[in-house]
Structure 1
Amino acid sequence: MTSLDTDEHTGVTIRCHDNLAVGLRLSERQLFDEDCAQYAVEVWAPGLRARVDEVVAWIWDADLASFLAELAADYPGWEGERAWQTYDKDLAVSAVFRSGGHVGLTWTLRPWPKGTGGWSASLTTWLEAGEQMASLASEVRYFLTGEQQ
């Protein structure tokens, strides 16, 4: 079971299909204008908890929600890895498809990617291809823009 909980004030929570102790949360969205939002991303797993407070999202055709929607549209599967990242590279997502109809999303937080003392943290959530991915894309779109699709 994957938990997708969305509210423009609380955010989107995603829990791994294979291990409910693994997840992430997009929260604290602030819209600067129709093209730009800032939000926090928190990831957790046994022995790991990390947070980036100021991820900047440019809401264009190549945003996170569009990337997730493309993955959902390819629910029969694909070969290799697909990747997306923010312009500042502080949040990156890579996706792989495995037999049985599941998509592995590896979320990487990397604040200050060029700064001294920078760090990174990654975790992978597994979701069902198709409907769960489509729901996630829709929830992320709503979180980023406040608009339903």
Structure 2
Amino acid sequence: MPSTNDDTDDKPCVSIRCQDNASVDVTFCDRFRFDSDSVHYAIELCAPGLTARVNEVVAWVWDRDLAPFLEELASDYRGWEGERNWQTNDGDLAVSAVFQSGGHVGLTWTLRPWPKAAGGWSASVTTWLEAGEQMASLATEIRHFLAQERQ
């Protein structure tokens, strides 16, 4: 389930825990801006035996960001066929979504920093959320996280 955490030092983050396995977690954190054209942030994936982090994922204001993708998934809470996909402009973060009978959405989060570099790596985890309220809540929290001004 998504949750917004405000640490004691007021650094916002969004954490998504898998409803089927609470040890699977995706965290958006350490957001900053260099200019008005982009938002930079870190993303961490955690699962039993796995911890992966990319320190600088970039969301460009002119690009289709993650929030509208999640909002579309939330609006289709009755389900869809096949897989839906989204990724950052540079491919550091990709998300694929599938709908499972019973009203659940599987989100596979894949980190692939430096996708064109030799010796690169990738890591993925899948979180399962309720298609309705949990997806809508996640979309809202991600939109808020990406839109906040640097403090």
Q: TM-score, normalised by structure 2?
A: 0.91
CA RMSD of aligned residues (A): 1.5
Q: CA deviation at 1:97?
A: 0.3
Equivalent runs, 1:1-149 vs 2, <5 Å? 2-7=1-6, 9-60=11-62, 62-146=64-148
Secondary structure at the aligned position of 2:102 is classed as coil
Cα distance in structure 2, aligned partners of 1:11 and 1:41: 10
Query: CA separation of 1:27/1:69 partners in 2, compared to 1, >3 Å: closer, same or farther?
Result: same
* Structure 2: runs of 5+ lacking an equivalent: none
Counterpart code for 2:75: A
| Number of aligned positions between the proteins | 146
Listed one character per residue, the Cα deviations across residues 8-61 of structure 1 (whole Å, up to 9, x for unaligned) are 713101100100000110000012334310000000100100000010111346
Residues 6 and 143 in structure 1, CA contact (< 8 A), matched pair in contact too: no
Gaps of 5+ in 1: none
Alignment partners' CA distance in 2, 1:11 and 1:59: 19
Kept after mapping to 1: 8 A contact 2:18/2:127:
yes
